[in-house]
Amino acid sequence: MRTGIFLSYAGGFREAADQVVELEKVGVDIALVAEAYSYDAISQLGYLAAKTSTIELGSGVVPIYSRTPTLLAMTAAGLDYVSDGRFRLGIGTSGPQVVEGFHGIPFDAPLGRTREVVDICRQVWRRENVNYDGKYYQVPLPAERGTGLGKSLHLINHPVRERIPITIAALGPKNVELTAEIAEGWQPVFFYPEKADAVWGDALRAGSAKRDPELGPLDVMVSASLAIGDDVEDRLAWAKPQLALYIGGMGARGKNFYHNLATRYGFGDVANEIQDLYLAGKKAEAIAAVPDELVRNVSLIGPKGFVKERLAAYAEAGVTTLLVHPMAAESAEQVKFTEELVKLTG
């Protein structure tokens, strides 16, 4: 099982880079940079590429709506070049709150758009003249929709690789099925190993049945809060604000993917309470309503023996890469927790 670090999108580039340099030294395999409505992920990834030499770098994730498919492909090719072939493109749909609320773009057809974005990216990386007549993207733009002067072009530069790995963040059954069919990696959130097959198993098997063997096995890249030690019980509370934000505030009622996931895990009543409190502006109460049981089952927080047991559960559930959020205020402790994990997974 590989180990990775998930960098906060609210942190500073320089501090994060210094930390990744230290994590590279202790054997961490990959560092992902998220993008929400903060600084863009690409700037930080370019900075990290200059500061590191062996660790894999990835976006975790960039929304497909905020960039054209060809710009995503150009950006990925550029990052792969400056990192000497160490980049992987993580994409996702994000959600209506970010896509419509921050970017002002309709959140429509997530499945269809995701498939077409992947198709176009791979065409660009192969340096083919981009000719794509999809339902959602047409490249070049048809004459009846533009000036008629657009012509098919290919990428000027020669990419380091013609197949840059693509990871898709997906939660819903249809999106997970699509990911298992077309992507190199899958990035779920709040992964509960013992419940994973019941929630996603059918979708993964259906997608895998249509998968091109050339893609290789699906890299299941799971994020988890991390704190290892005999005195880290208090760190469960540190993980609750994120759970409360996502379950309670990332979407309206009936349109919150994370609320739906918590419900499928068997925490429906609690998810409703968190959402009611969060949407009423009672964020502290919403955070307090997140149960320790939920946090414990979707994280790696506890004594070394407990964490080792959880790692076995993750492996049994098919996880191949662990992306951790160290629950520590100081960088030294964050590195310490991550180094302990590297040893346990090694």
Could you read off the pLDDT of 147-204 as tens digits, one per residue? 999 999 999 999 999 999 999 999 999 999 999 999 999 999 999 999 999 999 999 9
For the entire predicted model, the pTM comes to: 0.95
At 56 the three-state DSSP class reads strand
Where do we find the tokens 């019941």?
198
Strand 132-133 to 138-139 pairing: antiparallel
Band of pLDDT at residue 13, cut at 50, 70 and 90: confident
Please measure the distance between the N-terminal and C-terminal CA atoms of the chain and give it in whole angstroms: 8
Q: Record the tokens describing residue 122, joined without a space.
A: 């791979």
Q: Record the tokens describing residue 37, joined without a space.
A: 């409505």
d(CA 108, CA 86): 32
Please check the confidence at residue 250 and state whether its pLDDT lies above 90.
Answer: no
E strands along 77-229, which residues?
87-92, 132-133, 138-139, 166-169, 185-187, 219-228
- Quote the pLDDT of residue 346: 83
d(CA 289, CA 262): 13
At 220 the three-state DSSP class reads strand
- Quote the pLDDT of residue 8: 74
- Quote the pLDDT of residue 38: 87
pLDDT (tens digit, 9 = 90+) per residue, 135-162?
A: 999 999 999 999 999 999 999 999 999 9
* pLDDT > 90 in the chain, percent: 90
- Quote the pLDDT of residue 14: 87
- Quote the pLDDT of residue 27: 96
Distances (CA, A) of 177 to 95, 152, 185, 210: 18, 32, 12, 9
